[in-house]
Structure 1
Amino acid sequence: MAKTILITGCSSGIGYDAAHGLAKAGWKVFATCRREEDCARLRAEGLTSFVLDVADPSSIEAGFNEALARGRGRLDALYNNAAFACPGAVEDLPAGALREIFETNLFGLHDLTTRAIKVMRAQGSGRILQCSSVLGLVGIRWRGAYVATKFALEGLTDVLRLEMRDTPVRIITINPGPIPSKIRVNSIPHFERWIDWRASARRAQYESSLLKRLYEPSGKKDAFELPPAAVTAAILRALEAENPKSHYYVTGATHLASWIRRLAPPRLRDWLLAKG
């Protein structure tokens, strides 16, 4: 029987490419999405897909149980990919915006992780891959909410990895950098719901910077940008390595961010990140 992997957030971008790439590599992929119409599209493309909304505890339970049923009680790997962004200055973020983004980017992910650990302990093996980001290593302006969830994920995953050293379950973090996806477009409804930029003390900065990035993208490729397939390749290495690394950095930007975080003095780090 082919090894099984449950992937969240497969409607587009990294999750979509990973689902197709791992299926081609021989994995039995359970490609989940938040909306049934996206699942139907993936099924038409030959994938096994069903609904799993990581912001809904009942959907998490149902989706996880569906994966177990389709895998005959076995789950070899979990790739927690689903996430969204809510751009805006930190001083303009209502607490409700943070609660909402943490529900998806951390709490739902944690729920799935703990469920998977129980199964993997019982079967004697398994790997859990958490999709962090270059923004789990360093923070940049306008991304405070997203950065907060990824920093939290990095810390939670680091501790989990230490605690699971005496088990057959391997815990791995994937850190993509600039990858083409729909995260910008998908962040617009969250921005419009939560950020009252017109009343902000930074209104002029919104108008000259963030609004243009959100609504009038230049179309220019980031200097460090790689396609989603680069992340899929890292996922496959993490799944198939006999002794996987704790972190897999994807794109030069992520390697640079790791260097800045570890070696640059705080003042230099802030100067470098402010310029970005």
Structure 2
Amino acid sequence: MKTILITGCSSGIGYYCAQQLQKRGYKVIASCRVQEDVDKLNGEGITCVQLDYTDTQSIEKGLQEALVHSGGKLDALFNNGAYGQPGAVEDLPVEALRKQFETNVFGWHHLTQLACKIMRKQGHGRIIQNSSVLGLVTLPYRGAYNASKFALEGLTDTLRLELKGSGVHVSLIEPGPITSKFRDNALQAFLTSGIDIETSAHRENYLAQQRRLESATGPQPFTLGPEAVYKRLVHALESQRPQARYYVTTPTYLFGFLRRILPNSWMDWVLYQFT
């Protein structure tokens, strides 16, 4: 039975993948940031530990608890827990940017380092990072999230090269819009970011974005369910030759193609349409 640690399992992609991989025969150890969500998953029969990316001790303790459940081995790590901090770059408080990186980059990096040590000793393992289409291209008012995912992509590509020949394979999954609580979490991050909306040059856009995030309308175009990510995750876990990158959703394929063929000025025009 292969063991896998999955982070960010309170809802969305992490929750779905934990359920499906357990049905597939994996020994799944899920993790959540909030203890209430940990208790919920344990109550549903999914082994779950508490792990907060912003807390080094929590990361280390969570991994040790996961290893107790897995018998000391770790065949795979799926880094998934993240959030998006909205806001124009010129308005973004340094502390808000720091919090974005603590969760989306530094916490992932620390957990990945710990997993690498285990996998190197084993002589095998899979590390899968759930990135984003915004690790390939940038969109206005997503600067903090764009930067965190660009940083993740750089670290992951480098790690893949450095682990060559070790038996440990590294892959990135790059989804576009996926059904989840991402918009709800982004709204909360925006409201608590410390951005002064009223004095900002971007005031009208902020108000429009806030209305969109608060609306109860359906998902944006081209949104897929978490099963689309799960399909790529299974390939990254089980293929003898896992891919370095897995695109998910039409926008990822489209933007990945356009950034290769369009000059910057044209690409900027395309991306600005998504303001």
Q: TM-score range by the shorter chain?
A: over 0.9
Amino acid at match of 1:59: S
Per-residue CA shift, 1:39-79, capped at 9, x if unaligned?
A: 11111211001101111000000001111121111000000
Per-residue CA shift, 1:203-251, capped at 9, x if unaligned?
A: 12222x21112222532x3331110111111101110101100001111
Are positions 1:103 and 2:76 aligned together? no
Amino acid at match of 1:197: I
User: Helix, strand or coil for the counterpart of 1:171?
Assistant: strand
CA distance in 1, matches of 2:155, 2:196: 31
In structure 2, the partner of 1:271 is 269
Are positions 1:260 and 2:265 aligned together? no
- Identity value in percent: 52
In structure 2, the partner of 1:81 is 80
In structure 2, the partner of 1:132 is 131
CA distance in 2, matches of 1:7, 1:38: 14
Name the Cα RMSD after superposition. Answer: 1.1
In structure 1, the partner of 2:165 is 166
CA distance in 1, matches of 2:178, 2:246: 15
Per-residue CA shift, 1:21-44, capped at 9, x if unaligned?
A: 111111111110001110111112
Runs of 4+ in 1 over 3 A off after TM superposition: none
Aligned residues: 273
CA distance in 1, matches of 2:117, 2:132: 26
In structure 2, the partner of 1:227 is 225
TM-score, normalised with respect to structure 2: 0.97
What are structure 2's unaligned runs of at least 5 residues? none
Are positions 1:203 and 2:172 aligned together? no
In structure 1, the partner of 2:184 is 185
Amino acid at match of 2:30: A
Amino acid at match of 1:157: T
CA distance in 2, matches of 1:190, 1:226: 23
CA distance in 1, matches of 2:121, 2:15: 29
What are structure 1's unaligned runs of at least 5 residues? none
CA distance in 1, matches of 2:28, 2:270: 40
8 Å CA contact 1:142, 1:210 repeated in 2: no
In structure 2, the partner of 1:15 is 14
CA distance in 2, matches of 1:100, 1:132: 17
User: Helix, strand or coil for the counterpart of 1:47?
Assistant: coil
8 Å CA contact 1:78, 1:127 repeated in 2: yes
Per-residue CA shift, 1:180-217, capped at 9, x if unaligned?
A: 1101111222211222211211112222x211122225
In structure 2, the partner of 1:36 is 35
User: Helix, strand or coil for the counterpart of 1:199?
Assistant: coil
CA distance in 1, matches of 2:4, 2:199: 46
CA distance in 1, matches of 2:204, 2:73: 54
Amino acid at match of 1:201: A
TM-score, normalised with respect to structure 1: 0.96
Per-residue CA shift, 1:122-146, capped at 9, x if unaligned?
A: 0110000001001111111111111
8 Å CA contact 1:54, 1:60 repeated in 2: yes
CA distance in 2, matches of 1:214, 1:89: 16
User: Helix, strand or coil for the counterpart of 1:39?
Assistant: helix
